[in-house]
Structure 1
């Protein structure tokens, strides 16, 4: 049996703006074609009548192939009753290892995102120092930034 991780999906109010955010901050690149999906098959798959999805896939930093990707989609009708919280049930955050946590956090804020908690440095075994911070993209999705130093 073959199993392969393919993508993580973010449902956005405005997929183009969210896609641009991840391209500007993390250097993600679009994987053509843009998606414009609808039809009976999508209604059956999603359980949503007259579903219409638009968006695109983005390469992830460090994975220059076509998979895994970050899939950013918008539906023609969205459910905004699911608030995003670091301790919420379900998908909590996306994590990126970066060289300079403070610098990437600054870029996130410049691009319209925000910070969740404090930027911290802590000691790990084997004389390793880890730096972490939680941030948010422009629609509130939580992002963990981390770096590791010997």
Structure 2
């Protein structure tokens, strides 16, 4: 058995509109939005009474996709939106950017802060920023 490709990364959010707007402002493109409910989705995700809205955003090259989902039902357990980068579970989504300083400054203007510091690593600049609902983004810019 081999994997053919990666489809998307799913992120559950409380405020779907705000999370979608954040990623669109960052440069991702809204591919589609929709709602799901019914027995088929209950069976797929292993929950009862699922009602959810989703938005699919993609990177400009068309290869990277995020599925942002807000569950109306059933009630979701709470999590720590400020969990550190080393907490178990999915911790960050990485994006290659042009002009990392401008991207970080633009995110700062929207209230997003660096998790640590912007550093050089080998032939790239790299940093972590915390986006909506605690989602950590790793931003990288290739040098040269």
User: TM-score per shorter chain, which class?
Assistant: 0.7 to 0.9
Q: CA RMSD in A?
A: 1.8
Q: Which residue of 2 aligns with 1:136?
A: 130
Residue 41 of structure 2: SS of its match in structure 1?
helix
1:132–1:38 distance in 2 versus 1, CA, 3 Å: same
Contact kept, 8 Å, 1:114 with 1:138, in 2: the verdict is no
Q: Can you list the C-alpha shifts for 1:33-69, whole angstroms capped at 9, x where unaligned?
A: x2210111112222222111102101113x23xx541
Q: Deviations over 1:73-115 (max 9, x none)?
A: 1011322235532112121211111122221112222233221
The alpha-carbon distance between structure 1 residues 38 and 89, as it changes in their structure 2 partners (threshold 3 A), is: same
Q: Structure 2, unaligned stretches of length 5 or more?
A: none
* Pair 1:145-2:127 in alignment: no
| TM-score (norm: length of structure 1) | 0.83
Match of 1:28 in 2: 28
Determine if contact 1:112/1:138 at 8 Å carries over to the other structure.
Answer: no
Match of 2:111 in 1: 112
Contact 1:16 1:55 in 2 (8 A): no
Unaligned 5+ segments in structure 1 are: none
**Residue by residue, what CA displacement relative to the aligned partner does 1:15-47 show, whole Å, maximum 9, x if unpaired?**
11101000002x111112x22101111122222
Q: Which runs of 4+ in 1 moved over 4 A?
A: none
Change (3 A) 1:108 1:35: same
